Amino acid sequence: MIKIVSSLVIGMALFAPEASFATVPNDATTFATNVTTYSMNSTQNAKIERAEDHIKAVIGSDAFRTKVLNFTYNGKKQFNNSNGLTNAQIYQKILDASEAITPGKDNEMDLKIKVYYENSSTVGFTSTSSGYINMNTKFFNTYTPAQVARNMTHEWLHKLGFHHATLYSSSRDYSVPYAIGKIMEQLSATY
């Protein structure tokens, strides 16, 4: 029994790492984050830094690439509100990281984050034309770094020009900001 398990582990060690390196493009493994925060305390800043580590690890992973390329909505490999882009084009747009307000493919998530407090159900907000993303401390202060990584990714995808319905519907979960934000949170738990 033990011998069978051992040989399986050796087999995976020989083949699995090479297979994943071959598929992740260079732009994924070199992906960087450039985050400026405003009026945050040291605990809040530490959470942002941990979230940045998650984001870089996840975007550099083969699991992220696979989940984005194989994402399905209405039975087809596509996102809702895709701006007419294929999954592969959306993946490349993330790696290019050209924010609409400061165009240029710099392979880097550029974000300026402000915090505010509001006793509402709004986690945060931004717009494609805004230089900032705004996070409600009502949620931010209780979030894990993986949840913050989801929130940062969601708001940043708006900066790349992706939108979603304002009101909740099940199809909204398949929009680029919601769907990729969720993938980010799920995979963050593994890094």
Q: Which residues bind Zn ion (CB under 5 A)?
A: 177
What is the residue type of 47? K
CB closer to Zn ion, 163 vs 191: 163
Residue-wise DSSP of 144-179 = -HHHHHHHHHHHHHHHTT----SS--GGGGGBHHHH
- Nearest Cα to 160, choosing from 117, 97, 86? 97
**CA–CA distances in Å: residue 132 to residues 29, 64, 96:** 26, 26, 19
Smaller CB separation from Zn ion, 28 or 115:
115
The 3-state DSSP class for residue 78 equals coil
Which lies closer to Zn ion via its Cβ, residue 67 or residue 150? 150
Q: How far is the CB of 94 from Zn ion (least distance, A)?
A: 16
Nearer to Zn ion by Cβ, of 56 and 159: the residue is 159
Residue nearest Zn ion by beta-carbon distance:
177
C-alpha count within 13 angstroms, C-beta hemisphere, residue 77: 11
Are 67 and 75 within 8 A, CB to CB? no
Residue 117 or 168: which CB sits closer to Zn ion?
Answer: 168
